[in-house]
Chains A and B, each alone.
Chain A
């Protein structure tokens, strides 16, 4: 006979205000098998836990049910308490009467009734709980950083510094990411390249860091401490080990009309190219979409001029398989496409640019060598209008609902730099709000307004119309003065919203991590675990988790590294004993479970069975590797015969819960 203890927590007033905890404890006390049922103000407190421990010893309990908050909060607390009192920790069940009950109901009667039902379901389940013992699995002492922007670089450097090997996988030919494209950084106005490129060099020189540029993650298997990752090394048609980065091929390449993505397509590059002077690794890449040799088989100039024979037109994509203990996602962001914003005439006039394009226009390594000129006629602009929140804080489906966070500050920076360098230029900024929370941020913005006389106007731009004389009419409203404005501008700069990189969504699927509706990775806890994903061993670095500026990105990158290092330091980690197993007598060998298993934990064996008539029969049956299984339970629902079952969440336990709820 089971001897079950029930412990109902008040959680201060969190539960007790809406749930009549005394009634719940009393009612559940009458359930079959329950020998003690108590309530207490804070069950998770030391004295609350002692209450549980004492009851286990005194009543020789065979299972306990804690009616409290979500098991994500305190399941571990109570499992440890049970273990300390000599009860197997897996004989503890949590009935969530806070998040799933008291917080969502207003009426005491309804909430109390539901709390009783939830408690009853947990009691029904704990009747069928079996003691489980956790095993251990080793940790591969190597980390994978996906994305080689400032976030990925910082994370990799910190992990390498701690003495662990790190691979950076970057989809572009060079690491550096968006920061490499930025001209100056707020609020100090120091040059982005000057602070980024030393870090890029450091990453390439660090013996523990392997940079896998022009590569993509194509498959992830395994689990925390033991991921097996397939990386596609895309063909760059240049042997990285031979190329010296001399750049002769890029000079001689006859195909020079390729839009240069590093300069946001504002100028051209050659078909064989090195993205920028400080690229890491500094090796050439041939763009197969434009290379005449690859397209038509006629040319071969680069191959002829290369003195080290690095050009290889026959190079193929290569798949590399590596094992890692931890994975850090640092896939970053992109400005949104402005196709849907006809009112801002982005596609109609070359002089309407995005802020990132303006960065390139102002950069010394940009298309104009650092002189700000209009893209259309290369003349100096005298009136520039900045439009804030283009696609940010949108309530329609065109844009994003969130604040992109960095635009207010970089626009203040742009406005200030333009006024500093070209004092004869009038600068207007149209904004909804100016948001400057950050160290020295508001001071920076005030300098733009007060010292540099940038015209900040609260209001949105309604329409941008390119005119036949090359000027641009900007129609806007000034909400404070309550008047309509027409500004005759030379250039318009749009602060496009930022969104997660498009590669993030398929990556999240591979990593079995969660994303929010905007495709930002979801952290394990918004306050207390901001750099971990809910999937063990997967960490989040930089803007892939949400819009961030450089200091925040770097801070989060180092935090993610610290978490990863904490994992890599361990020689082994405790496994989850709630894994699947197959009842071989019922298994059909149909492979349904093997097909749905995301971890590759299921294999099939031909096993000899002794039949009732003393003959033997060889049958194909499923076999689960408990070290690989993560207990997701997909196999148990795919199994047509019910042969697959999950420890701690068995089919019969789930049925017992459902029956208890429906009773």
Chain B
């Protein structure tokens, strides 16, 4: 796959279709794959990587890259195409300036799950017929592939590319996923249990802002948390409860726009299940206003910024909330 992608990128660069390529390159460690922009065939040959760790959603890079001179080539997994569509809908990217090559999706690997097995000093990880062969400084280890799959891939919602100019490989379909199971568990808790759960989870937050920075829905010119005039930027550091509100506010800001790409939880260094906040909104929107998948298209009106005469009444929404 990596070869095919490099060849496709080289061809499109050579024939002038695109002037640069967004992909991934290796970071400090073998499993440390990071998004990168390539401008020449040499750079691609040298650094371009696509393997079981290339899970990063690169759609958000298009906010800047698509506005530069010349077309940009981007390789998108099915889940990433939803993010691009949503950005297109919100006029945050210039879709005409983007050449999308759809590539097959995961499942991708979560290095933390491998490390959790007590495996350290990892130098390489290979998938040998769904058994991971892990080379370490201390010898080779093995573990089943599916035990190391990223959470977001384990509850994959779609193998279908919702936007692309070209595909490598076959296109898939949307899937029946179990992604709302945990939300249901939380809903079944008493409000005190739920409060305790979130206080405990959110208390781990170190406000590194990784979740916000990676989120393809968080592309504001000036984020309210960076804006002294918003009146909330300084509240969070002042008190631990306000600190927790950061995530709640962020979930509200992306409500109805979040495509459930799962990047927030993937990048959280404290392993807070942030995606559950967004999934609660998605689940509520689905049940109150009918099934809606943000990013499935670029034209439909989002339920939270639309009004139809048969929308549920606020009082009915309220009834649901009462325990």
Which residues of A approach B to under 8 Å, CB–CB?
Answer: 505-506, 509, 585-592, 595-596, 604, 617, 619-620, 638, 640-643, 651-652, 655-656
Pick the contact of A588 from B220, B232, B254 — CB < 8 Å? B220
Which residue on A lies nearest to B232, using beta carbons?
A: A655
Pick the contact of A651 from B230, B253, B257 — CB < 8 Å? B230
Provide a sorted-by-A list of 5 A–B residue pairs whose CB atoms are within 8 angstroms.
Answer: A588-B90, A592-B90, A596-B307, A651-B230, A655-B231
Does B222 lie within 8 Å of A641, measured CB to CB?
Answer: yes
Which residues on the B side are within 8 Å of A604 (C-beta)?
91
Which residues on the A side are within 8 Å of B232 (C-beta)?
655
Q: Closest approach, in angstroms, between the C-beta of B15 and any C-beta of chain A?
A: 28
Complex CA–CA separation, A642 to B91 (angstroms): 17
Q: Closest approach, in angstroms, between the C-beta of A157 and any C-beta of chain B?
A: 32
B314 interface residue, CB < 8 Å from A? no
A588-B90, A588-B219, A596-B307 are known contacts; what are 17 more A-B pairs with Cβ within 8 Å? A509-B309, A586-B220, A586-B222, A588-B92, A588-B221, A590-B90, A590-B91, A590-B92, A592-B305, A619-B221, A640-B220, A640-B254, A641-B220, A641-B223, A641-B224, A651-B231, A656-B231
Which residues on the A side are within 8 Å of B92 (C-beta)?
588-590
Which residue on A lies nearest to B67, using beta carbons?
A: A617
Q: A509-B309, A591-B91, A652-B229 are in contact. Are A642 and B221 (CB under 8 A)?
A: no
Complex CA–CA separation, A587 to B67 (angstroms): 17
Does A587 lie within 8 Å of B305, measured CB to CB?
Answer: no
Q: Closest approach, in angstroms, between the C-beta of A544 and any C-beta of chain B?
A: 18
Which residues on the B side are within 8 Å of A643 (C-beta)?
221
Does B227 lie within 8 Å of A642, measured CB to CB?
Answer: yes
Complex CA–CA separation, A591 to B305 (angstroms): 10
Q: Closest approach, in angstroms, between the C-beta of B63 and any C-beta of chain A?
A: 10
Please, what's the 1-or-0 string for B283-311, where 1 marks a CB less than 8 Å from any CB in chain A? 00000000000000000011001110100
Q: Closest approach, in angstroms, between the C-beta of B253 and any C-beta of chain A?
A: 5
Q: Closest approach, in angstroms, between the C-beta of B277 and any C-beta of chain A?
A: 16
Does A595 lie within 8 Å of B301, measured CB to CB?
Answer: yes
Q: A590-B90, A595-B301 are in contact. Are A585 and B221 (CB under 8 A)?
A: yes
Which residues on the A side are within 8 Å of B305 (C-beta)?
592, 595-596, 638
Which residues on the B side are within 8 Å of A595 (C-beta)?
301-302, 305-306
Which residues on the B side are within 8 Å of A640 (C-beta)?
220, 253-254, 257
Does A620 lie within 8 Å of B309, measured CB to CB?
Answer: no
Does B221 lie within 8 Å of A586, measured CB to CB?
Answer: yes
Which residues on the A side are within 8 Å of B306 (C-beta)?
595-596
Complex CA–CA separation, A591 to B307 (angstroms): 15
Does A641 lie within 8 Å of B221, measured CB to CB?
Answer: yes
Which residues on the A side are within 8 Å of B222 (C-beta)?
585-586, 641
Q: Closest approach, in angstroms, between the C-beta of A595 and any C-beta of chain B?
A: 4
Which residues on the A side are within 8 Å of B231 (C-beta)?
651-652, 655-656
Which residues of B approach A to under 8 Å, CB–CB?
Answer: 67, 89-92, 219-224, 227, 229-232, 253-254, 257, 301-302, 305-307, 309
Complex CA–CA separation, A590 to B88 (angstroms): 9
Does A586 lie within 8 Å of B227, measured CB to CB?
Answer: yes
Q: Closest approach, in angstroms, between the C-beta of B211 and any C-beta of chain A?
A: 16
Does B90 lie within 8 Å of A642, measured CB to CB?
Answer: no
Which residue on A lies nearest to B223, using beta carbons?
A: A641
Q: A585-B222, A586-B221 are in contact. Are A591 and B90 (CB under 8 A)?
A: yes
Complex CA–CA separation, A620 to B222 (angstroms): 15
Which residues on the B side are within 8 Å of A596 (C-beta)?
305-307
Does B230 lie within 8 Å of A642, measured CB to CB?
Answer: yes
Q: Closest approach, in angstroms, between the C-beta of B220 and any C-beta of chain A?
A: 4
Q: Closest approach, in angstroms, between the C-beta of B235 and any C-beta of chain A?
A: 10
Interface centre among B90, B221, B230 (most CB of A within 10 A): B221
Q: Closest approach, in angstroms, between the C-beta of A230 and any C-beta of chain B?
A: 15
Complex CA–CA separation, A656 to B231 (angstroms): 9
Which residue on B lies nearest to A597, using beta carbons?
A: B305
Q: Closest approach, in angstroms, between the C-beta of B290 and any C-beta of chain A?
A: 17
Which residues on the A side are within 8 Å of B89 (C-beta)?
591
Complex CA–CA separation, A643 to B253 (angstroms): 13
Complex CA–CA separation, A617 to B94 (angstroms): 14
Which residues on the A side are within 8 Å of B301 (C-beta)?
595
Which residue on B lies nearest to A508, using beta carbons?
A: B309
Complex CA–CA separation, A509 to B229 (angstroms): 35
Which residue on A lies nearest to B217, using beta carbons?
A: A640
Which residues on the B side are within 8 Å of A617 (C-beta)?
67
Which residue on B lies nearest to A598, using beta carbons?
A: B307
Which residues on the B side are within 8 Å of A641 (C-beta)?
220-224
Which residues on the B side are within 8 Å of A506 (C-beta)?
309
Which residues on the A side are within 8 Å of B67 (C-beta)?
617
Complex CA–CA separation, A595 to B304 (angstroms): 10
Complex CA–CA separation, A642 to B306 (angstroms): 19
Which residues on the B side are within 8 Å of A619 (C-beta)?
221
Complex CA–CA separation, A506 to B309 (angstroms): 7
Q: Closest approach, in angstroms, between the C-beta of A62 and any C-beta of chain B?
A: 21
Interface centre among A509, A641, A652, A656 (most CB of B within 10 A): A641
Complex CA–CA separation, A585 to B224 (angstroms): 13
